[in-house]
Structure 1
Amino acid sequence: MKLVVFAACLVLTLGCYLATRALFLRFRQPLLNPVFLSTLMIIAVLQATGGTLADYQPAKETMTFLLGPATVALALPLYNNRRVLKNQALPVLAGVLCGSLATIAAVLWAGRLAGFARSILISLGPKSVTVPIAVEISRLSGGEPALTAAFVVATGMIGSILGPVLLTAVRVKDPVARGLALGTVSHGQGTAVALIEGETAGAMGGVAMALAAVFTALIAPYYLPLLLP
């Protein structure tokens, strides 16, 4: 029985993703973002069938394990676009560094304006990098790791939905710039959307995601105290 439920959850997830991806490619509407819409569909199916998080957990763990190979696979589009990266290495490094600094400063400024407590502000700071690194930064800085993980997921979701729209609104059409912006601000989910836009944007998103994680891990212990009350 458990094996049947496990297989059903895997099929459900894959089916929802393929269906929502097809819708997104067909209509290019922000709210049809595959991650966002497939998540809603999976929740709805589980609710309708009486499924629980515990039922879905084994399938989730299997798919989470595949994130490692999927991240490594980003090396392929990066290799195919190695000349682009080589020719624009300095702008790429500068853009990701400035973007990492700016996103931390912006969210802390907004949090302070909203009157958030110091621990919440610390938890918010590393929201734009991948969960394992963000959680460790938060823990070492005195934040709440669980809260940081939630902020990271929310940032990826919102950024992958609104990021392409905002970039288009301000007439950013260059795939290098779009990929760097999405990868820097929205980590893996932004990179996934960049890959849908094209191989070059996806490659730059992968580079930005990795560089932003490294930069944030290095600068956060010194940068966060400067911005906090």
Structure 2
Amino acid sequence: MEVITTGIFILLTVAAYLGSRYLYFRYNNPLVNIVLISSVVLIAILSLGKFSYAAYTPAKDIMTILLGPATVSLAVPLYRNRQLLRQYGAAIILGVGMGTVVSMVTVLCITGAGGLSREIIVSIIPKSSTIPFAVDVAQMAGGNPALAVAFVVATGTFGSVAGLALLSWFKIHDPVARGLAMGTVSHGQGTAMALLEGEQQGSMAGVAMALAGIFTSVLAPVLILWFVR
């Protein structure tokens, strides 16, 4: 019975994704976001069917196995656009580094001014890196890993919904700049949306996502130590 339920959940997840993807390309509107819509549909199905998250977990575990190959596959568009790395290498490293620092410092200023607890602030700081980086940073600094995951997902979802539209609104149309911005701020979800827009955007977003994770791991502990003192 569990095997059948797991199979049904996998099919529902794939159907939600394909339906959301169709709507995205059909209407080309930032609010028609693949991750957001498919997540809402799945949550609604689980809630209406009175299924617990534990019941969905086996299906989730099977599907997340594909995250590794999917991440590695980002090397394909990157290899095709490797000339961009040679051309803009220094600018990419500097830009992603500055973007990562600005993101973390902004969080410190806003959350500190808001009087939030140290645990929450530490958990928010690595929000623009991927979940493995954010969880490790939060744990080392005394934050809450669950909160860190929640903030990472929320950041990625918001960035994937509004990121490209905001870049267009500010008249930033260069594919390299758009990809780097999405990967730096919105990690995996932003990279997925950048890849849908174009191969150059997706390859640069993948580079930015990796660099942002490295910069976060190195710089976040320093900023947190400074904040505590």
For residues 83-113 of structure 1, what are the alpha-carbon distances to aligned partners after superposition, in whole Å with 9 as ceiling and x for unaligned? 1121110111111000000000111111112
Question: Is 2:129 aligned against 1:114?
Answer: no
Written as runs of structure 1 = structure 2, the 5 A alignment for 1:191-210 is: 191-210=191-210
CA drift at 1:158: 0.9
- Output the amino acid matched with 1:38: S
CA drift at 1:224: 2.5
Aligned to 2:124: 124
CA drift at 1:212: 0.5
CA drift at 1:31: 2.1
Aligned to 2:80: 80
Aligned equivalents of 1:2 and 1:133: distance in 2?
A: 33
Aligned to 1:25: 25
Q: Secondary structure at the match of 2:31?
A: helix
Aligned to 2:8: 8
Aligned equivalents of 1:142 and 1:93: distance in 2?
A: 29
Question: Which segments of 5 or more consecutive residues in structure 1 lack a partner in the other structure?
Answer: none
For residues 157-213 of structure 1, what are the alpha-carbon distances to aligned partners after superposition, in whole Å with 9 as ceiling and x for unaligned? 111111111111101111111110010011101101101111110000100000000
Question: Is 2:150 aligned against 1:150?
Answer: yes
CA drift at 1:227: 4.1
Q: Secondary structure at the match of 1:149?
A: helix
Q: Secondary structure at the match of 1:32?
A: coil
CA drift at 1:222: 1.2
CA drift at 1:47: 2.4
- Output the amino acid matched with 2:50: G
For residues 109-158 of structure 1, what are the alpha-carbon distances to aligned partners after superposition, in whole Å with 9 as ceiling and x for unaligned? 11112211112111111111011111111111121111111111111111
CA drift at 1:51: 2.5
In the TM superposition, structure 1's runs of 4+ consecutive aligned residues that sit over 4 Å from their partners are none
Written as runs of structure 1 = structure 2, the 5 A alignment for 1:35-46 is: 35-46=35-46
CA drift at 1:76: 0.4
- Output the amino acid matched with 1:146: A
CA drift at 1:52: 2.4
Aligned to 2:133: 133
Aligned equivalents of 1:45 and 1:24: distance in 2?
A: 21
Is the contact between residue 74 and residue 206 of structure 1 (CA under 8 Å) also seen in structure 2? yes
- Between the aligned residues of both structures, percent identity stands at 47
Aligned equivalents of 1:199 and 1:3: distance in 2?
A: 37
| TM-score after normalising by structure 1 | 0.96
CA drift at 1:228: 5.0
Aligned equivalents of 1:131 and 1:179: distance in 2?
A: 20
For residues 35-90 of structure 1, what are the alpha-carbon distances to aligned partners after superposition, in whole Å with 9 as ceiling and x for unaligned? 00000011112223333212211110111121111100100010011011211101
Q: Secondary structure at the match of 1:102?
A: helix
Is the contact between residue 31 and residue 37 of structure 1 (CA under 8 Å) also seen in structure 2? no
Aligned equivalents of 1:95 and 1:81: distance in 2?
A: 18
